[in-house]
Structure 1
C-alpha cells in the first residue's frame, strides 16, 4: 500500500516535467554516445583526435625531459598547465555562485525565460530542476579541473626524481601515465563546460536543449578531430613514445 502511494507521488512529481526530463535524457545520451564513439575510434587510431595525438606528444615529452634532465622546462610547462586548470576551476565555482543567485529571482526571470518555451513546463519546480542540473554540471567541471591540478602537482615532483633501480623505462611510463591522467581530467572538465551551452538553452525550452546538443556535438567533433597535416606531424612523437612500451 505504501509503495503504491510512493509511486503515485513520484508520477505526480514527474508529470509536469515529463518532456523536459525526456529531452534531458536524450541530450545526455547523445553526448555520451559521442564520447563512446571517440573512445572506440582511439582504440584503432590513437591520433584520431587532438587529445589522442597530445597523449603521444606528452609521452614523448616525458621521455625527452627525463633523459635530458631538463628540469626547468618541466616545471615551467607543468606550471602553465596548472594555471590553466586553476583558472577554469575558479570559473566553474564563480558560475555556480552566479547560478545560485538566480534561485531567489525565479518569479521575475521565469516569465522571460519561458517566452520561447512552447512545449515544455513553465512551473517554478521545473526551473528549480534546471538550475539543479546546471549546478551539478558545474560541480563536475570544478572537481575535474581540481583533480587535474592535483595530478599536475604530483607529476611536478615525480618527473624530477631520479630512477633508483636503473629501470628508466618503467619510471618514464609511470610519469607519462600520470601526466596523461591529469590531461584526461582537464579534458573531461572542458566537455562539462561544453555541455553548459545546451543546458543554458534548456531554460528557453526542452526542444532547444536537443537541437543545441546536436549543434554542440558537431562543434566539439570539429575541435577534437585531428587534421591530416597534424597526423603527419605527430609521426616522430609516435616513434619517440615507443620508448615507453
Structure 2
C-alpha cells in the first residue's frame, strides 16, 4: 500500500474523484467554502491560533485543507510557523494537485509557494508553514507518531466507502494524539463516527454541515 499513488478521474475537468473509493476529493459545490466551514469554523480557527499551533489531518488529498489553514494563519498576522501533519495512504502527484488547486484562484499565492518545493511526500519548510505528510496506512502510522495536535481535520473519504479511516481504534489514536483542550472536526455525521469519537473521550456535537450535508461533527477533548 505504501508505494501506491492516488488513482483519479476528473469530473467536469476540475474536480478530482478517487476511482479507488468512488468519492470526490472536495465538494462539487465549492471545496474552499466547505473547508472553511468544516475544518476552520469547526475547530474555532483562526481564533484559537497561537505560536506553535499544530494541526493534524487524516487524508491530505489535494492539499486544499492545508493551504486554507496556511492562508488563514498568515492573514491573521502570524509570522512563526504553523505546524501541519497529514496522514495519507495514497498521495496525489504534484501535477494532479496543481490541476485540482487551479479551481481556487484566491489561494494562488499559497498554492504556488507550496508546489514550487513540494515533491509529493515527506517534509516541507515554507517559512510560516512546516508541513509533514506521513505516507502509509494511518492505522499503522498514527500510533507511531510522537506528537499531539491542537486541532484535527478528519477528511478521509466517505465512511461508507472508506470505513478503515473511521474505525473506533483509529479514532482512539486521534484522541491519544490530541493535546488537552484540543478539537476535532469532520464533514460526516455518521452515527458510528460520532460514537467512536465519544468513546475516545471527545465531547461531541452535531452542527449544521456545508451545502447539501445537513450535519457535520465537531468535538472537544478536555
Same fold judged by TM-score > 0.5? Answer: no
TM-score, normalised on structure 1?
Answer: 0.23
Q: Which has the larger radius of gyration?
A: 1
Q: Point out which structure has higher relative CO (alpha carbons under 8 A, 6+ apart).
A: 1
Greater helix share, structure number: 1
TM-score, normalised on structure 2?
Answer: 0.25
